[in-house]
Amino acid sequence: MANIYAHADEDQLQKDASSSLLTYGAKFHPEIITRANGIYIYTASGHRLLDWISGQMSCLIGHGNPEVVEVIKNHAASLDHVFSAMLTPPVISLAKRLTSLTPPGLDKAMFLSTGGESNEAAIRLAKFYTNKFEIVGLSASWHGVTAGAMGAQYHSGRSGYGPNMPGNFALPAPNAYRSIFRHPDGTYDWKTELKYGFSLIDRQSCGSLAAVILEPILSSGGMHPLPPGYLTHLRHECNLRNMLIIVDEAQTAIGRAGSMFAFQHDSPTFVPDILTLSKTLGNGIPLSAIVTSNKIADFAKEKGFSLYTTHLNDPLPAAVGDKVLEIVVRDNLVQRSRDLGKMLQAGLRRLQSRYGCIGDVRGRGLMAGIEIVTDRAKKTPGLDLGDRIGERMSKLGLWAQLGTQRSFSGVFRIAPPITIREEELREGLRIMERAFKETEGSLPLYDMVGEGRGGVRERL
């Protein structure tokens, strides 16, 4: 496919950006991106980067997927946008296909634009259904920047903007690597941590606990998967308080974490009261969803739940989401993510055995995290080291969100498109290996003199 910005004047674009663009929290990437195709992104200077975070964790089946492109072209020409109370074939088709993939108890869907918007809608629905207003999040979470979503997240962005929404509380975020809650043998005691968290919330609540919102893998919180069984135990605690559970699967759903929906990893019986989707559902096109039970949907209809936005149930993005689900199921990409995820984890753990700055490797499917430290025994966060390794990776041709925000505690986030091929996965791992090798402070655990064609000789 032709590069429509092949002759872009990068110097002029940089000047225009500096003079006209408002910054919004992250430093702009130093190069101008002029093309994205498959699993690669390209800069104005011609530098090619293997995209290991799928854009903004969104391009699940690759940039410029030809089937998605065709859907966009057809709907842009024939059915792009209508009044939000009007029904169209792609919206109905997406709702039918999506609810055929969710378990019973997730029966009705509606479609919005962004993850923050879907979480805002889910929180609003939970408050309406329970007639309560207190919302509980995890202490390392990201759900969006609208009022309700921001009030329920604790990763960043809470200070400097005046009061947050009232009635928000935080549970300790599960962190098997760093939590102070330990069994006598040193293993992670997340059950005690969860109960302790609720004991604090009970002391603060005014008796109006409506819902808990959480991610199955805490992405912005450091790529921490919830411990197996966590959601089931959370359900017990919520039932005691007549609370709903909202599971935010912006990044983890549609096969990313090795199952169609990441909450399914917890147990065969756990089903959230409300599921939110975004990012991966639209493959980079603004599309999100909330899915809930017939019981909650019937209540909302009978009692007059109200939520209007300009792009609610828009046909063009719905058609894209429908095609994404079709491709994921047709091409067995959930199993592919599971299988290649094992290869990814094995490769990252091999790196951990070779470089002492890798304190922890975690994740599921094609969603992984590497925590960088300067001292393994003390688990000292390696924030600056992570930045330098990330910069070296970028120069070598691998792009991932590696040590770029200090609130990540020096954690590399990895989430390539699940259409990635084995050779592309190996290519990324080779680049990572070289970046660690060439970055001062990576604490190699092998004898460089003994390195040869057969690999490296490990230090004894």
Mean pLDDT of all residues in 236-252: 98
Summarised one tens digit per residue, pLDDT across range 182-230 is 999 999 999 999 999 999 999 999 999 999 999 999 998 899 999 999 9
Summarised one tens digit per residue, pLDDT across range 249-273 is 999 999 999 999 999 999 889 999 9
Within 13 Å of residue 232, how many CA atoms lie on the same side as its CB?
Answer: 10
251 labelled catalytic: yes
> Which residues are paired to 371 by β-bridges?
360, 411
Q: Which of 132, 279, 354, 362 is catalytic?
A: 279
Encoded tokens for 36: 């994205």
In the prediction, which pLDDT does 409 show?
A: 64
Cα(122)–Cα(117) distance, integer angstroms: 9
Mean pLDDT of all residues in 309-330: 97
Summarised one tens digit per residue, pLDDT across range 104-157 is 999 999 999 999 999 999 999 999 999 999 999 999 999 988 889 888 888 777
% pLDDT > 90, the chain:
84
pLDDT band with cut points at 50, 70 and 90 for residue 449 = very low
- In this prediction the pTM is 0.94
Mean pLDDT of all residues in 43-60: 95
153 labelled catalytic: no
Domains of the chain, residue spans: 10-19+30-64+334-446, 66-330
Q: Which of 51, 117, 120, 215 is catalytic?
A: 215
279 labelled catalytic: yes
In the prediction, which pLDDT does 259 show?
A: 97
Q: Which of 251, 264, 401, 405 is catalytic?
A: 251
Q: Which of 108, 235, 336, 413 is catalytic?
A: 413
Higher pLDDT, residue 25 or 253: 253
pLDDT band with cut points at 50, 70 and 90 for residue 460 = very low
Per-residue CA distances from 459 to 115, 375, 379 (Å)? 47, 18, 21
Summarised one tens digit per residue, pLDDT across range 143-187 is 988 889 888 888 777 788 888 889 999 999 999 999 999 999 999
Mean pLDDT of all residues in 74-90: 96
Topology annotation, domain 10-19+30-64+334-446: Aspartate Aminotransferase, domain 1 (3.90.1150)
Topology annotation, domain 66-330: Aspartate Aminotransferase; domain 2 (3.40.640)
Cα(54)–Cα(80) distance, integer angstroms: 25
Encoded tokens for 249: 């699967």
Encoded tokens for 459: 């230090």
Does residue 453 have a pLDDT over 50? Answer: no
In the prediction, which pLDDT does 452 show?
A: 43
Which of 95-99, 397-401, 450-454 is the least confident region?
450-454
H or E segment and range at residue 244: strand 244-248
399 labelled catalytic: no
Does residue 450 have a pLDDT over 90? Answer: no
Cβ density class 361-391: b for 16+ within 10 Å, e for less: bbbbbbbbbbbbbbeeeeeebbbebbbbbbb
Collapsing DSSP states into helix, strand and coil, what is residue 240? helix
Higher pLDDT, residue 456 or 196: 196
Q: Which of 117, 237, 248, 266 is catalytic?
A: 248
In the prediction, which pLDDT does 457 show?
A: 42
% pLDDT > 70, the chain:
95
Q: Which of 51, 117, 142, 362 is catalytic?
A: 142
189 labelled catalytic: no
Q: What is the mean pLDDT of the chain?
A: 93
In the prediction, which pLDDT does 1 show?
A: 65
Indicate the burial class of 46 (C-beta count within 10 angstroms; 0-12, 13-18, 19 or more).
exposed
Summarised one tens digit per residue, pLDDT across range 358-368 is 999 999 999 99
In the prediction, which pLDDT does 447 show?
A: 67
Cα(291)–Cα(272) distance, integer angstroms: 9
Does residue 451 have a pLDDT over 60? Answer: no
127 labelled catalytic: no
Does residue 459 have a pLDDT over 50? Answer: no
Encoded tokens for 401: 């969100």
Does residue 404 have a pLDDT over 60? Answer: no
